Amino acid sequence: MDIGKIEEPAGLQAVAADALAGRQLRYYDFAMAAFAVILICSNLIGAGKQATFDLPGYGPVIFGAGILFFPLGYVLGDVMTEVYGYARARRVVWVGFVASAFAAGMAWVVVHMPPAPGWEGQATLAAVFDQAPRIFLASILAFWAGEFANSFVLARMKVWTEGKHLWTRTIGSTAVGQGVDSLIFYPLAFLGVWETSAVIEVLITNYLLKVLWEIVLTPVTYRVVAWFKQAEGLDVFDTGTDFTPFKTRV
Give the pLDDT confidence of 85-119 residue by residue, as tens digits. Answer: 999 999 999 998 899 888 888 888 888 999 999 99
Average pLDDT over residues 222-234: 90
Average pLDDT over residues 198-210: 88
- pLDDT tier for residue 217 given thresholds of 50, 70 and 90: confident
SS3 assignment, position 227: helix
pLDDT digits (tens, 9 = 90+) for 136-155: 788 888 989 999 999 999 99
User: Percentage of the chain surpassing pLDDT 90?
Assistant: 36
- Rounded to a whole number of angstroms, the CA Rg of the chain reads 19
pLDDT, position 51: 78
Residue 117 DSSP class: T
- The CA-based angle 151-35-72, given to 5 degrees, is 75
Q: Is residue 168 part of a domain?
A: yes
Provide the strand spans (E) within 78-188: none
Q: Is residue 145 part of a domain?
A: yes
- What is the average pLDDT value for the chain, to the nearest integer? 84
- pLDDT tier for residue 4 given thresholds of 50, 70 and 90: very low
- pLDDT tier for residue 9 given thresholds of 50, 70 and 90: low
pLDDT, position 46: 65
CA distance 70 to 42: 6
- List residues bridging with 194 in a β-sheet: 191
pLDDT digits (tens, 9 = 90+) for 36-47: 988 888 777 765
CATH code where residue 185 lies: 1.10.1760
Instruction: Find, among 214, 235, 233, 243, the residue nearest to 83 by Cα.
Output: 235
Inter-residue contact 46 to 185 (CB < 8 Å): no
More confident residue, 78 or 53: 78
Q: Is residue 14 part of a domain?
A: no
Q: Is residue 247 part of a domain?
A: no
- pLDDT tier for residue 1 given thresholds of 50, 70 and 90: very low
Q: Is residue 249 part of a domain?
A: no
Q: Is residue 219 part of a domain?
A: yes
H/E run at residue 62: strand 59-64
Taking CA atoms, 212 is separated from 74, 151, 172, 205, 215, in Å, by: 12, 18, 12, 10, 5
Q: Is residue 67 part of a domain?
A: yes
Average pLDDT over residues 56-69: 74
Give every CB contact of residue 178 below 8 A, 6+ residues apart in sequence.
Answer: 70, 74, 146, 150, 207, 210, 211, 214
pLDDT, position 71: 67
pLDDT, position 127: 76
CA distance 248 to 91: 5
Instruction: Find, among 225, 246, 214, 218, the residue nearest to 84 by Cα.
Output: 225
pLDDT, position 86: 94
SS3 assignment, position 108: helix
70-84 and 86-112 helices, crossing angle to 10°? 150
How many domains, in total, are found in the chain? 1
CB atoms within 10 A of CB 92: 26
More confident residue, 59 or 176: 176
Domain range for 147 is 28-47+54-111+123-237
pLDDT, position 187: 93
Q: Is residue 21 part of a domain?
A: no
**Single-letter code of the amino acid located at 228:** F
pLDDT, position 11: 58
